Every structure is written in C-alpha cells, then in structure tokens.
Amino acid sequence: MNETQVNQRQLELLNYLLFNPFSSRAEITEALGGRNGSRITAIRDLNHLLNIGLIEQAGGGKHVKYNLKAGQELLIPVDLDGYFIKNTDSREISHPNFNLKLINNLTGLFSEADLNLFEQGRAKLKDKFENLDKTLLKRELERFTIELSWKSSQIEGNTYSLLETEELIKNKKEADGHDKKEAIMILNHKNAFNIILNQSSSFKEISLIDLRSIHAELTKNLEITSGIRESGVGITGTKYLPPDNKWQIEAALTQLINDIKKNRPVPEKALILLAMISYLQPFTDGNKRTSRMVSNAILLANGYFPLSYRSVDEVEYKKALILFYEQNNLFHLKRIFLEQQQFAITNYFL
C-alpha cells in the first residue's frame, strides 16, 4: 500500500475495515465518530479509496457494504498494542486457518526507498568483504554469529545471556544453571549460520532441500522430529491453525518456493520466507528459527546484510507474527525487518 495516497483519516478508515469487513457507510461513520468528519467527508474518503483500488463495495443503494480489496490488508498500519488489548479468545480473526491465496498477494511489498536501504547495505558489505583486514573480518563475522545465535534462541525462550552465549561459542563453555538443550540450541544456530556463510553461493535461490537441511541443522539433538509434520499443531497466543495435512503442507511449500523464484527483489523474497515459513509451520517445531535463518541465507547469498535481530523485543516480534497469522497483516513484521536491516548496516562491519 502506498501511504502517500491516503491521509491519516483514511488510514483509520482502512484500519476499521480490516477488522470490520463488509461495513455500511453509516457503520463506518458511527464507529470513527468525529475523527472521520461529516457524512460528506466520509463519502469523499470512501470514493477516494475506491478509486485507488484499496477497497471495494458490494450491494447497492442503502445496502452498499464496503470491504478491503483482496490483498490490501497486507500493509495497512495497525496499532499493535491496541490489537492485543483483547485476549486470545476475544480477538476476531479474519483468517483462522491457513490462507493459501495469500502467497499470490505477496508482491510489491517494498517501496523504492525501502529497496535503496538494502542496496546501500549491499554496497557497504561488498566493500568490507573485499577490503577489510581478514582478522577484523573474521572477528566481525564471529560477533555477528554470536549475536544472531543468542537473539534467535532468546526468541524461542532460551535463557542464556549474550555474554554466556559468547563464552559458549568462543570457548565451548556451558553456563551453569541452564538446561543442556539451551546450549545445543545456540550451537545449532552457530553451525547453521556457518553453513550459510561457507556455502553462500548455493543459497541464491532457496529450494525445499535447503529448507529441510537448515531446519535439520537448527534442531539437531533437540528431540525434534525432522521432515514435514504429519499432524496438527497449535501456536501459543493465537487461535489460528496451520494446515494439519502433510500433503497440503507440501503443496503449500512447493507453491511458496516456486513463487520465490519469480523475478522479484531479493529483500522481498527474504521477507516472504520470514513470514510464510512461520505462518505455514511445516515442521513440528523450530519453524520460526528456520524462517529467520532461511531468510538470512538468501540475503547473504545475494550480497545483502543478514539480520541478527539483536535489538528486537521478542514479545513485539511474536505479536507481529500473530497479527500476520490472524489478519494476514504484514505491516509490523515488515517494519521490524527494515529496522533490523538498518541496525545491521549501522552496527556490523564498521
């Protein structure tokens, strides 16, 4: 969605329709109150949104209803904290089950300014890999690996601190008072990223084999079943349910991988993988960490900065994912993705 085409009042109208599809003009005007101005203003706003293709109408006369046009729910700004005021069972979910059609709507996700950010990072990273002292380059790669392994594990509930993670990776010393599996999880992240780094040319396009192999590396020795899951799975904090049929999961994965191969910007491919692997939940466990690592694999293979997620608030990250699951709204996950690219450019390979 191009936010320059709409004003704040119209954004509020779009946000209302996201959670209240097929609403009448009277319902919209009443719900937005004075924020939407007069009846004439509401008509003008609705007509403008119709003309630029963000909404559609059904019915006629007094029975006209307005709804977001298919795919437009993706990037509408949503009040994240406001959305989660309601608890899991009270929230109205637009998509309680996996939406296969969503894959085809994931296009044009980044503006020119967004893509320029990635290109700036790409130029910087190319220069550093070519000209940075090899000892410093090795140190920076180790620092990035430590911070990615720590934060990605923390998002999954790991309780190691950053300094404990550094000691584990550098000196193979496990921290006292932690479950053995926490150390394994962190070392699995390190090993998976090293594979991505050392075999980067093979990840320029992501295949199903790549997806399975990265998942296998991340979940090694953690008593997590490998391969595509064959039964249903629930997700903490949401009533959204991914597909529970192995054949449906494999078909969706195949469609996703084929779509990723289309001629689209690499950062867009990386964001889609980050979102959709988590959304589909193809494995019994380890889906989010796999999505982050696969997303990084395609970024790094094509010369872009990978993301460490070091500055991410893990609760905010999970909320952004749940919003995507329940409403197919990508706004906050995209925001986090862009913020982490800027963070990487500013903080790594100085």
Q: What is the DSSP string of 170-224?
A: HH--PPTTS-HHHHHHHHHHHHHHHHHHHTGGGGSS--HHHHHHHHHHHTTTTT-
**126 in a structural domain:** yes
What tens digit of pLDDT does each residue of 133-146 get?
999 999 999 999 99
Predicted pLDDT at 39:
77
C-alpha R_g of the chain: 22
**85 in a structural domain:** no
Reported confidence tier of residue 41, pLDDT bands at 50, 70, 90: confident
Predicted pLDDT at 207:
94
Together in a domain, 117 and 14: no
- Indicate the residue among 53, 69, 85 that finishes a domain: 69
Between CA 57 and CA 50 the distance in angstroms is 8
- Looking up residue 37, the CATH number of its domain turns out to be 1.10.10.10
Average pLDDT, whole number, for the chain? 93
Together in a domain, 20 and 129: no
Q: What is the pTM of this model?
A: 0.91
Identify the CA nearest to 283 among candidates 334, 226, 342.
226
Between CA 189 and CA 157 the distance in angstroms is 14
**96 in a structural domain:** no
What tens digit of pLDDT does each residue of 272-320 get?
999 999 999 999 999 999 999 999 999 999 999 999 999 999 999 999 9
Predicted pLDDT at 3:
56
Together in a domain, 17 and 126: no
Q: Does the pLDDT at position 112 exceed 90? A: yes
Q: What residues make up the domain containing 210?
A: 102-347
Together in a domain, 175 and 34: no
- Strand spans (E) along 211-345: none
**97 in a structural domain:** no
Overall average pLDDT of the 172-199 stretch: 97
**Is residue 118 within 8 Å of 302, Cβ to Cβ?**
no
What are the residues whose beta carbons fall under 8 Å from the beta carbon of 266, sequence distance 6 or more?
Answer: 118, 298, 299, 302, 304
**Is residue 168 within 8 Å of 174, Cβ to Cβ?**
yes
**Is residue 215 within 8 Å of 187, Cβ to Cβ?**
no
- Check residue 261 and report its DSSP letter: T
Between CA 71 and CA 237 the distance in angstroms is 24
Predicted pLDDT at 35:
54
Together in a domain, 261 and 115: yes
Size (the chain), residues: 350
Together in a domain, 150 and 271: yes
Q: Does the pLDDT at position 348 exceed 60? A: yes
Together in a domain, 117 and 57: no
Together in a domain, 52 and 156: no
Reported confidence tier of residue 222, pLDDT bands at 50, 70, 90: very high
What tens digit of pLDDT does each residue of 223-251 get?
999 899 999 999 999 999 999 999 999 99
The better pLDDT of the pair 333, 20 is held by 333
Domains: count for the chain:
2
- Looking up residue 341, the CATH number of its domain turns out to be 1.10.3290.10
Tokens representing 311 are 């500055």
**Is residue 269 within 8 Å of 260, Cβ to Cβ?**
yes
Identify the CA nearest to 14 among candidates 41, 46, 44.
46
Reported confidence tier of residue 220, pLDDT bands at 50, 70, 90: very high
The C-alpha angle with vertex 47 and arms to 41 and 48, in degrees rounded to 5, equals 90
Comparing 25-34, 89-98, 139-148, 300-309, the range with the smallest average pLDDT is 25-34
